[in-house]
A and B are shown apart, each in its own frame.
Chain A
Amino acid sequence: MKFLCLIHAETTVLDRMTPAEREAFDRDNLAYARWLDAGPGVAGGPLDPPATAALIRARDGHVSVTDGPYPETKEHIAGYILIEARDRAEAIEIAAKCPVARVGTIEVRVAHHMIPDDRTG
């Protein structure tokens, strides 16, 4: 069963760390990424800051592109981890190990495979 862990954090969270704290934080993140790679991780990584986001909408055949992010929030989506876990309890256990869980918020969502009812068309 796949779960998407959305990593929400404030943009200023890294700026508030002392150099020593930042170094330890980076080290923890690298160790966590390695652990994911060797086990439950499917894909994942940090995303560029929300100010760089673009929003695309298609309405009545017309495509509009505006600068993002969507939505504007105190914490933003700073990264994501796609994992394979037995159940929600295991997914939460994996999410709780993420170093960003200490300074931000991890949102755990069940991810489905896209399988249409009729694939013969």
Chain B
Amino acid sequence: MQYMLLVHVDESLIGKLTPEEGKANSRECFEYDRELERRGKYVASNPLMGPDTATVVRMREGKLSMHDGPHVETKEHLGGFILVEARDLNEALDIAANCPMAKFGSIEVRAEMSLEVEERAP
């Protein structure tokens, strides 16, 4: 089963790192991903550009509207994500607890919903 780990980052914590500490943290995150890969738990992951670079897209009555984001202003912002393959929620929580970024914000763990859509002939 796939779980989405949403990485919410607290700028006030990560902002305290020196450039060397920042670099060490990036390396730790990279190693964390590779370790998940070795264990067959890794699906995808990416850090995201800052929330001020987000674009919010809506379609209403066939008309497209766009504005600069983020969609929700929060103290912690969504700084990245990790998609993992885990046996159950416990294993997903365990994986999240070992993520280096858990020290600088909150990791939100969400199970992927299985969509049951009937196959229909076109």
Residues on A with C-beta less than 8 A from B47 are 111-112, 114
Report how many residues on chain B are interfacial, defined by Cβ distance under 8 Å: 57
Task: Determine whether B36 belongs to the interface, using a CB cutoff of 8 Å to chain A.
Answer: no
**How many residue pairs bridge A and B at CB < 8 Å?**
168
Residues on A with C-beta less than 8 A from B81 are 4, 80
Residues on A with C-beta less than 8 A from B43 are 43
Task: Determine whether A108 belongs to the interface, using a CB cutoff of 8 Å to chain B.
Answer: yes
With both chains docked as a complex, state the minimum distance between the C-beta of A43 and any C-beta of chain B, in angstroms. 5
**Among the listed A45, A53, A57, which residue makes an inter-chain contact with B102, where contact means beta carbons less than 8 Å apart?**
A57
- Interface residues of B, Cβ cutoff 8 Å to A: 2, 4, 6, 8, 23, 26-27, 29-30, 33, 43-49, 51, 53-60, 64, 66, 69-72, 74, 76, 78, 80-81, 83, 89, 93, 96-97, 99, 102-103, 105-113, 115, 117, 120
